[in-house]
Amino acid sequence: MAVTRRDPHEELPMHPLEFRILLVLLSGPNHGYEIVKEIERRERYGPIYPANLYRRIRDLMDRELIEEVSVSPGTLLQARRRHLAVTAWGRKVARAEAARLEQLVREARAGRLLPTTGGAR
């Protein structure tokens, strides 16, 4: 892929919702409706409303961080949904974002915002 030459840091910082979408998709392909449910299940975030979510999804697709994948169609309802998965580039960007966030957490610990026990120091 030609994108491998790009620097993932150009995509940082990520919007929190975009990062969360990536995180959900890291555990396997999914569609928008389930992504929302998963995000809201994992963390108190939201409620997420449709227009904003799908604009983010489309934007992530435009930036080739996620892509549409085909799964075996089950019910008619499932066929209408577009299943999404993280691209290799998306994985890199997510990793860079995670590292950025980790650095931030480290700084927060140094500033005694958080307890240092169990830290990565």
Partner 1 sequence: MSRDAGSRGPEAGPGRAPLAYRWLLRLLPSSLRREFGDEMQELMALRLREAGTRGQLRAWWLGLCDIVAVAATDRFGGSLRGPVLPPRRDGSGRGGMMSGIGFDFRYAVRTLLRTPTYTLATIVTLGVGIGAVTALFTVVNGVLLRPLPYSDADRLTLVNSRLLTADNVADWVQELQTGGASAMFTIGRGTATTPDGAALVRVMPIGRGLLELIGWRTVEGRAFTESDHGAGGAPVALVSERFWRERFGVTPAAGRTLRIDDRAYEVVGVLPHDELLLYRSLDVWIPYESATQRTGRGGSLLVRLPEGHTVDVARERMQSFADRLVTPEFTKQYEGMRVSTLSMQSIEDIMVGDVRSTLWLLFAASGLVLLLSALNVANMATGHAQTRSGELALRAALGAGRLRLVRQLTVEALLIATAGGVLGVLLAGLTPALLALAPDFLPRASNIRLDSRVLAWATAVTLGAVLVFGVLPACWMAARSERRSLHAAVERPRAGLRAQSALVVVEIAVALVLVVGVALLLQTYATLRPSAPGFRIDDRAVASFSLPRPTYDDPSATRRFAEDLVTSLARSTGARAAVTTDLPLTGMTAFLQATRETPDGESTGVHFRAVSVGYLELMEMRLLAGRTFSAVDGRPEIVPIIVNETAARTLWQTADRALGRRTTIHLRDGAVTGEVVGVLQDAWAFRGPQPEEEVFAPFERLPSGRFRVVLGSTRDRPVSERDVMTAVRDIDAGVPLQGFSSMRELVAWTTDAPRFQSALLGILSAIALLLAATGCFAVLSQMVAQRTRELGIRIALGARGMSIARLVLGRIAFLTGIGLLAGTAAALASTRLLESELYGVTPSDPATYTTAAIVLCITVLLAAARPLWRALRIDPMRSLRDSQAA
Please identify which residue in the block is written with the tokens 């979510």: 53
Min separation Cβ 119 and partner 1, Å: 26
Min separation Cβ 78 and partner 1, Å: 6
What are the E-state strand segments in the chain?
66-69, 83-86
The conformation of residue 48, written as its DSSP 8-state character, comes to P
In the complex with partner 1, which residue's Cβ is closer, 56 or 92? 56
In the complex with partner 1, which residue's Cβ is closer, 58 or 110? 58
In the complex with partner 1, which residue's Cβ is closer, 9 or 116? 9
Instruction: Extract the tokens encoding 7.
Output: 């620097």
For binding to partner 1 (CB under 8 A), which residues are involved?
Answer: 11-18, 31-33, 36, 47-59, 74-75, 77-78, 80-82
In the complex with partner 1, which residue's Cβ is closer, 45 or 88? 45
Min separation Cβ 79 and partner 1, Å: 11
Nearest of 72, 92, 58, 89 to residue 29 by alpha carbon: 72
- Angle (nearest 5°) at CA 29 between 48 and 103: 65
Pair 55, 2: CB distance under 8 Å = no
Min separation Cβ 14 and partner 1, Å: 7
